[in-house]
Amino acid sequence: MSVDYTFPEGFWWGSATSATQIEGAASQGGKGQNIWDYWYAKEPNRFFEGVGPETTSNFYYTYQEDIKRMKEIGHNTFRFSISWSRLIPGGKGEINQEAVQFYNRVIDELMAHDIEPFVNLFHFDMPLEMQEIGGWENREVVDLFVEYANTCFELFGDRVKKWFTFNEPIVPVEGGYLYDFHYPNVVDAKRAIQVGYNTMIANAKSIKAFRFHQFDESQIGVILNLTPSYPRSQNPADLKASQIADLFFNRSFLDPAVLGKYPQELIKLLEEHGHLPQTEEGDAVLMEANTVDLLGVNYYQPRRVKAKDHLPNPYSPFMPDWFFDNYEMPGRKMNKYRGWEIYEKGIYDIMMNLKENYGNIESFVSENGMGVQDEGRFIQDGIIEDDYRIEFIKGHLQWLHQAIEEGCNAKGYHLWSFMDNWSWMNAYKNRYGFFSVDIETKERKPKKSAYFIKQVADKNGF
């Protein structure tokens, strides 16, 4: 295949996943309970086909073969997360040595195959005991998280050079405190905003702890799902709606992470509605002094908004949705399996925004992917012919390449995900992997996209 799009030397090719979504062994190896184990035990009906986090893709036991497969398809980097409830059951106190051995083996195995480990500290998986004392609403939990982060730096920092505090920190805010798709299933914007704020305090404090170690050539960052907010039209009312959506869903985390402060417009808006979070003395200085070195960008779909058609119900709970309506653009291209719009140029727009407004911070696409249900229907000659995924990846890589040509500081592309994994309430409904996973037997099989990405990685382009 001739190469039309060549990427910079040393470009990161790989994939991403998280502990709860692939490890399995949820009650083995000394692991404590996290909120997913607990919620599933309590309400299994909320999970697709009643499948919970107990065994998922069994990576706890199959990591060696899986890492070998990663190497075979050209990975030079791989992001996974450490489970706080596995490493420190209960969230504080004794370190679980079985977990230390497991994560050491995973890191060493990756390095033995020349795959650089990218390690994330928190991916939606609060230890149950920490949630019981308030989770991110409680500053004590913030400090215990920093102790956990520091434990990870001490245990693994000699080898791990790419660290991430959080993956998509807005999701537990939306899911757990606004829209009822994560435990604790609260609908309360004031508490949601406090959770978001305290998460960013935990981010800054963890970065401070990390820098204290003075590791050689190591970086720490955060992974944000940056979904551009596109207005329906250039009408001032639509523009205002998109600016407010952007404040709530992007800048609420992007600005403190990269610029070290919250946007004034957001502070003013929350103040007008009596929803400012509680802060402590020294918070602002802490945030400003501890910004990220590196930004992971998760991008799946755009957000399109318009001015509201109707005034919000004054008796309804305060919501970001008071300020805009979602807009379905006529003629938009769809992933009809997932109900999400496909808009490849979004990745270019995000990168240009980082270049123009965020000091062109070093970044990479940390997640991009296409979830499809019942992929078995695309099997030909024993292989899932996922041409739709190959087209999806190519389309996004073309726009990423354009952004790099125009000077954006983008260093890599990670697909979600290496193999089909357990997606929270959706369980195994939508499949995302380069490899399929049989839920019963746990057998892995490469899809057509696995062969495609190997060629891309080998040629550093396509």
Residue range 371-390: mean pLDDT, rounded: 95
Asked whether the predicted pLDDT for residue 113 surpasses 90, the reply is: yes
- Reported as a single tens digit per residue, the pLDDT across 182-198 is 999 999 999 999 999 99
Asked whether the predicted pLDDT for residue 407 surpasses 90, the reply is: yes
Give the pLDDT of residue 337: 81
Whether 4 maps to a domain, the answer reads no
Joined together, the tokens standing for residue 449 give 């996209």
Give the pLDDT of residue 248: 97
- Reported as a single tens digit per residue, the pLDDT across 44-74 is 999 999 999 999 999 999 999 999 999 999 9
Asked whether the predicted pLDDT for residue 209 surpasses 80, the reply is: yes
Whether 357 maps to a domain, the answer reads yes
* For the chain, percent of residues with pLDDT exceeding 90: 98
The boundaries of the domain holding residue 259 are: 12-459
- Reported as a single tens digit per residue, the pLDDT across 14-39 is 999 999 999 999 999 999 999 999 99
- Domains identified in the chain, total number: 1
* For the chain, percent of residues with pLDDT exceeding 70: 100
Residue range 393-409: mean pLDDT, rounded: 98
Whether 38 maps to a domain, the answer reads yes
- Reported as a single tens digit per residue, the pLDDT across 120-176 is 999 999 999 999 999 999 999 999 999 999 999 999 999 999 999 999 999 999 999
Contact 274, 246 (CB under 8 A): no
Whether 270 maps to a domain, the answer reads yes
Asked whether the predicted pLDDT for residue 1 surpasses 70, the reply is: no
Catalytic residue among 23, 109, 137, 367: 367
Whether 7 maps to a domain, the answer reads no
Instruction: State the pLDDT confidence band at 2, using cuts at 50, 70 and 90.
Output: low
Report how far residue 400's alpha carbon sits from residue 406's, in angstroms, rounded to the nearest whole number. Answer: 10
Residue range 334-340: mean pLDDT, rounded: 86
Asked whether the predicted pLDDT for residue 339 surpasses 90, the reply is: no
Report how far residue 150's alpha carbon sits from residue 140's, in angstroms, rounded to the nearest whole number. Answer: 15
How many Cα atoms are found within 13 Å in the side-chain-facing hemisphere of 342? 20
Q: CATH number for the domain including 313?
A: 3.20.20.80
Q: Is 367 a catalytic residue?
A: yes
Instruction: State the pLDDT confidence band at 453, using cuts at 50, 70 and 90.
Output: very high
Residue range 300-317: mean pLDDT, rounded: 94
Instruction: State the pLDDT confidence band at 381, using cuts at 50, 70 and 90.
Output: very high
Name the pTM for this structure: 0.97
Whether 5 maps to a domain, the answer reads no
Whether 146 maps to a domain, the answer reads yes
Asked whether the predicted pLDDT for residue 116 surpasses 80, the reply is: yes
Backbone angles phi, psi at 441, to 5 degrees: -95, -15
Contacts 24+ apart (CB under 8 A), 434-443: 434/15, 434/73, 435/69, 436/375, 436/384, 437/57, 439/51, 442/55, 442/57, 442/58, 442/62
Whether 173 maps to a domain, the answer reads yes
Report how far residue 169's alpha carbon sits from residue 444's, in angstroms, rounded to the nearest whole number. Answer: 30
Residue range 228-232: mean pLDDT, rounded: 96
